[in-house]
Structure 1
Amino acid sequence: MDANEVVVHCPDDDFNIIVTPEVWENINYSVDTETKAITEEKIGSYTQIPLRLAWSITIHKSQGLTFEKAIIDAGSAFAHGQTYVALSRCKTLEGLVLKSKIHANQIISDDNVSRFNAEAEENAPDEQVLKDSQQEFQLDLIAEIFEFYGFLHSLNRILDVYYKNRTVIEGPIEATFLPIKDCITNFLKVANGFNAQLKQLSVNEGLAEDSAVIQERFRKAIVYFNTETETKILEPLKTFAFTTDNQAVGADITKQLDDFEDLLTIKVLYFKGMVSGFNTTRFLELRAKSVFSGKEKPKKQRKTVINGTSNVELFETLRLLRNDIAEEQDLIHYQIFSQKTLYEMCETLPTTKQELLEVNGMGKRRVGKYGDAILKVIRDYCKAHDIETSPDIEFFEAPKPKPKKGDTKKESLALFESGKTVEEIADIRELNTNTIIGHLASFISSGKVKITDLMSAKHYKELKVIIPEKTFENLSDLKHQLDDKYSYGELRLVLNELSNSQ
């Protein structure tokens, strides 16, 4: 092989094949409007040696693949179906080349398949067996229409999440879903009795499709289940809404609601589609349609504010205040006050610190830290809407000056030197633990705090060795390269020390 030619020698040939480069040109043709002459314009070209790579593959590995051309060697076939797999890889007979002759002993059948075929021929079903199977199949389809057992999982999950997290969930969960659960439980009892009744009737009536008696019972059942579903399940769900501070809890309940409503959509589709009577073909069409109904239907946008207060404007203003304070102080919003506390404030409208202390979730510490800002919002709202407030009580205290950054760090250090842990300091000061670590880390250079006071000595020693060996763009990039046991705070501490020591 060189730049100008490739010599190909096939094992069974007594001659060589010389392959030289070929040029492919891209030409644009145009016709002169006056002379009608055709002119050529060469737009581009490429030169290539016209060889296509070939490769070998075992018959087992080729299963599921399709080839335009294939050279097959099935002379050593050793498993049942292997020769068939080899011969069926090619699209056309013209593209198939046999390297070796295929003998009868290379076409191997599976004894289990042969035995099954023989038994199937010997035990071919007669007309009565087929009729009984058809009858049973139709009864199973009818039972499927009225089957509500799958609804219980989502219902039980919603109620279970609520009972475990009721302090952070606002909304009529029990009032909505306990009656729905009772309705579903009743459906299960009615459906069981109905299915047993149809099975008894079918002994004398035959196929459900052909029986006037069964069809009449079926239509009555459709009307009953559809009416009960509309009034006891669909109607309550139309007005249901909830809210929660906990995103994970909210996502779990929303997912279960979506699953429940998907199942409900399928049932309503069956009830509407089978109102004129049972038909096997029609039901199977509806079942196929139901597979795509949930995917085509956009997910319902659920309310985030429920009708738990008449003072919706105040609710939104206090919610925004909470978010602003949380962002400013590096806290999670429900650490300022919970959703239940928010609703209670909107209903009771406290305008003094004494009244605010009576609100669930507002202790002395919270009232001391956030009370002035909360009360100002409520007072302004009451004034704007001509709502009478508690008179002659001092409403605001003079705002206390915000501590300087140096002061707040010294406050954390003083608590640390008094023997408090980082977690205890964070709880006392109502700050994030990472914020407290940041405060204390600023005193490492002065020797007042040691780095091993803020992280385990073992992690410190490991990270001092590991980090210099890594190449990373930022802290997040480094974190993803290391074991999950190292926290962001620990990485930041060691990085700062390594940077200061350089």
Structure 2
Amino acid sequence: MEHTILSLINQTNRNIFLTGKAGTGKTTLLRKIIDTTYKNTVVAAPTGIAALNAGGVTLHSLFQLPFASFLPTYGSVPLANELQRIENRTSLQKHFQMHKNKIQLIRNMELLIIDEVSMLRADMLDAIDFCLQQIRRNRLPFGGVQVLFIGDLLQLPPVVKQQEWEVLQQYYEGMFFFQSKVVKEHPLLYIELEKIYRQTDPVFIALLNHLRENKLTEKDMAELQRYVKPHLGTKTDDNYITLTTHNAKADAINARQMEALKTPVYRYEAKIVSDFPEYMYPIDKVIELKKGARVMFIKNDPTGNRRFFNGKMGTVQSLNDERIAVLLDDADVIEVDRYQWKNVRYRLNETTKEIEEEVLGSFIQYPLRLAWAITIHKSQGLTFEKAALDIQSVFASGQAYVAFSRLRSIDGLRLLSAVPQNGIESNEEVLQYAANKATEGQVQQEWEQGRLEFLQEMAMRTFDWVTLETAWLQHSSSYSGEIGNKNVYKNWAQQQYAKVKELVATAAKFSKQLDGYFRQGASVEYVCERVEKSVEYFIPLLSQVWYQVMYVLEKVYYQKKVKEFVGELEELSNNMGEVVKKLFRLQQLMALAATGKDFSKETVSTERFEALFMQIVTNVNKQMKQEQLFTKDKEEETPKKLNTYEKTLLLWNEGKSIAQIAEERNITESTINKHLIKLIEEGSIVADLDKLFSKKEIEELSPLIDALEEDSLKTVVEQTQGRYSWDKLNLFRKVYLGKE
């Protein structure tokens, strides 16, 4: 069954609900899917802790959803109050003003895994469906993204307040995710894992099944009655952990037992690195321990040696400020290391278009929790050898089942109160939905049918280049009225658009041929051969256009007033890359299908795409370097254009007089005098009186300048009877007096 499920994920686009009783390996299979799928995958969960445990993000943060009830309607929203917020399709759209990186992430998503789906509300799933359709511009369910739902519906149910339900009940029959509009209109493939790994005793397994379905028999009740020991409670030396309904009860038991220990207390504070919000803390920021304290591990052994697992119990044997040693219940002693939890988000690799994890922050702490008592909610996913169950105050259907199913064997059970005579409530809606589960034969049939549909759908999508053509049409039309740097490329854009338009038309014709092959039942081998030839035809032609876009982008990137133009070119480059990537992907998938091999991360890669991208980048850089060298050589060959002052300086340095310079430049001596004053002030000319003036001029003007009482040349002009111009006298004075 596991191999078939992996094949359904990797070789079809089926939306799946994967469930199973406690201990059937849902979490293990989830990790295997994540580790092996080649699809762009995002893992999410309804709550922060569930997301942390699954190694993903919350659904609210992924889709930027407000904390509100959602109505599957358009128009005005019913009036809410300070205790209740309501959104619908119309009002929700304002939350979709996302950063372009988030939009690209969602548009490139191929597989969305939602863990702990029992807590996912129907209205929230409809909001997610609406968001995906809007952002991806795709009216298929979930915007065409394959969705894998994982969880046990008979465990923890979704939470809905009474005032919320009063509004929501007008649109929904209930709040479980399968009661959403999208799932009702597009049913999921319901797969249940049957093999139980946690328990091996057939009697206990049968009892758990009866409890799960609220069908406890008289024999079951009599069997459970044997384990009712309310007066024993939990002793500090019997290695039982109490599972109770409320945090306050669990905290009180742990505090009382800690107080009874007369050993010193040690406090260990978590190290918070970068961004790790408090609501995501997996355990308390500060944990207090004593020698003799009962503890349990809340993570599996990261070394892979399986020394401990999530829920493994033990007693603190020794400790100091830097060290904790725990004696496990099976007599092994472990020196505990701190564990690092990571807060991640997803981002799109701009080069490969692959979705990657980005670590935002971490929480580093000893993976230990006091274990005289724990809430049933926090015990979900854990396994215990011995547990005392406080089910008297069970308030949600599924709580009792979660508590009982934590045990490996009924021999480790202790009941602190009797099981009610009317049994323990299970949700009838969930039991009715369980009737939809597929048989193993049906699952196999779904894979066989879905595989061919997936290949056909992939082929049609791969050669549908309407988005590419539209992008080029919009770009080539955007030059109307443009001036400046962008307008230089108007003809270039029209030429590239013409090439793309022709390629799109050819791709559309080939797409029709492919559709015909699939409808006629052509062999996968034949279709693979046709796809192979088409890829070899299209890739060189698409690469030429892609190169042109990246080349122009590189040329204009650092120019002024081209921000919008650069954005358009980047978008075109992304569109070109997406088409090329899909071609390589289809080529690989068809080849694998033709040879009967599995689709996985090992067999489907982006190597050819990355190699082509890097080759284009290399070619662009090479071309740019050649152009820069050519420009530099040309600049060296072409004399620099001189300004008017530099021309005067050049002639002066050749030894020419003021009169000669004026004559050669065809301007007045007065103007040359002004030039020389500026050049002297700049330090370009040495203020040499003998070189600038004749001996006679120096003898006549020197005493007149010395006799000046005010900073004015009017007197000198009058005394020389106009033989010297104002500019020449000013030049003489500056040089003679040494003024700058």
Q: Same fold (TM over 0.5)?
A: no
State TM-score, norm by structure 2.
0.30
State TM-score, norm by structure 1.
0.42
**Higher RCO, 1 vs 2 (CA within 8 Å, ≥6 residues apart):** 2
* Greater fraction of residues in strand: 2
